[in-house]
Amino acid sequence: MLFVAAPVMAQAPGSTRVLIRNPDVGKWAGSRNFLSNSSGQYVCRPLACPAPSKVTVRISSSPTRSPDRQALAKYASQTIPAAVEQANSNAASSLTPGGKIERLSSSATQMRGYPAIAQEMRFLGGKEPVYMSKVTMFVKSALVDIAAFSPSRETARRNCDLFAGAMQVEDVPLQR
């Protein structure tokens, strides 16, 4: 299973092609969105992971090729917590009793040499909590979201890192 951000034809200057390959086809079953080559999900096959696990991948156009580090830090420290608070107040008024999202961390960082926002959440309300480890990478002209879900926080982290490590980037810089 392969996810591609740009068409497979010749790349134009200023474009970025991002490929995320299945890091282990024996362990992960992948499916893509029927209408898109740039989003999909991987589910860990039964008994292949220490806990049930899923990884979603989405590749879209980045709002900028070079995000400001301070703007990313502000987004991680202010916008994400506000969005979680809003989601929790929306959940409180819905029919999901006991459903809650807890932000465990969110920070501006670097992943694979690219500016990124890393975040971890815990979702409560089911039989057991589900942890999400997510990284949003600004890979030149592409925005890459990788989110890993598992009842184990460590497994979610490890799976997110595994798929980020499977990313391949081809960039055609702007001509000056």
pLDDT digits (tens, 9 = 90+) for 119-168: 999 999 888 999 999 999 999 889 999 999 999 999 999 999 999 999 99
Domain coordinates in residue numbering, the chain: 2-172
pTM of the model: 0.85
Sign of CA dihedral 29, 33, 35, 38: negative
Name the 3-class secondary structure at 6.
coil
Query: Domain 2-172 - what CATH class?
Result: alpha beta
Q: How far apart, in whole angstroms, are the C-alpha atoms of residue 144 and residue 126? A: 28
Provide the CA 139 distance to its chain's centre, in angstroms. 13
Q: What is the Cα gyration radius of the chain?
A: 17
Cα-based distances in Å from 78 to 24, 81, 85: 36, 6, 11
